Amino acid sequence: MALQVVGYDGTFPTILRGLLDRHPMTGARTTLKELAEAIGIRQQTVSLYKNGETQPTPETLVKIAEFFNVSVDYLLTGISSQNKSIHEELGLSEEAIGMLKTVKETDGFIGGPALIDILNELLSDRDFFEFLEDVSFKSSQVKSVLSGNFDRSHMGNINVEGYFIWDLQKYVEEFILKQLVKRGLSIEEKTVKITRLESEE
């Protein structure tokens, strides 16, 4: 029995389009032809799935899930059953949970800390969350200015675009320098020395 058709913006077609754009395992784009050949159906049928005009039978759904190495429940709901409790508790997406699991299994650079330890340190740092909020706000300012939706009347004759872009770049740079200092690496003084040496030549 075929699944209920829910249109272009339905969960399944939306997820399928995302998977076609970026395979979760390889990061590569998958063409309609490649998926069709892999699961044994016509390319036009995959196009109908992608646009929400029809949905696959349960057997075909299983083949699509296997091709992308995801679960059937993820294709239908956007979250796999094994990650459902984490999603409900923290609101993280399937992709975010998958990345966290990948980080946990990934070693750091030789002689360095594991990536999960670095991530733990960042997520335990209140400054990091303030940084994310501030970057989000500053980015929205830049977008607003660049799209022409910013009221410049109170800014005088200054280069508004240049100022907001500079402000965002400077803020990100300062945060990174502070994080390096927290990890015992201060490069500001060395940068100043290198700049002085270059200017003397």
Where residue 113 falls (left for φ over 0; alpha for ψ -120 to 50; beta otherwise) is beta
Residue 142 pLDDT > 60: yes
pLDDT of residue 199: 57
CATH 1.10.260.40 fits 11-78, yes or no: yes
**Within a 13 Å sphere around the CA of 192, how many CA atoms are in the beta-carbon half?**
3
Q: Which token pair is 126?
A: 């209140």
Burial label for 23, CB within 10 Å (0-12, 13-18, 19+), is: middle
Tell me the CA distances in angstroms from 133 to 16, 122, 136, 137, 166, one per residue in order.
31, 14, 5, 6, 18
pLDDT of residue 6: 67
Q: So where are the chain's domains?
A: 11-78, 125-200
pLDDT tens-digit readout, 91-117 = 988 888 888 888 887 776 666 677 888
Distance CA(104)–CA(115), nearest Å, equals 7
Distance CA(8)–CA(75), nearest Å, equals 14
Distance CA(61)–CA(64), nearest Å, equals 5
Indicate the average pLDDT of the chain.
85
Average pLDDT rounded to a whole number, residues 13-42: 93
Amino acid at 190: K
Which of 60-64, 79-83, 124-128, 173-177 is modeled with the greatest confidence? 60-64
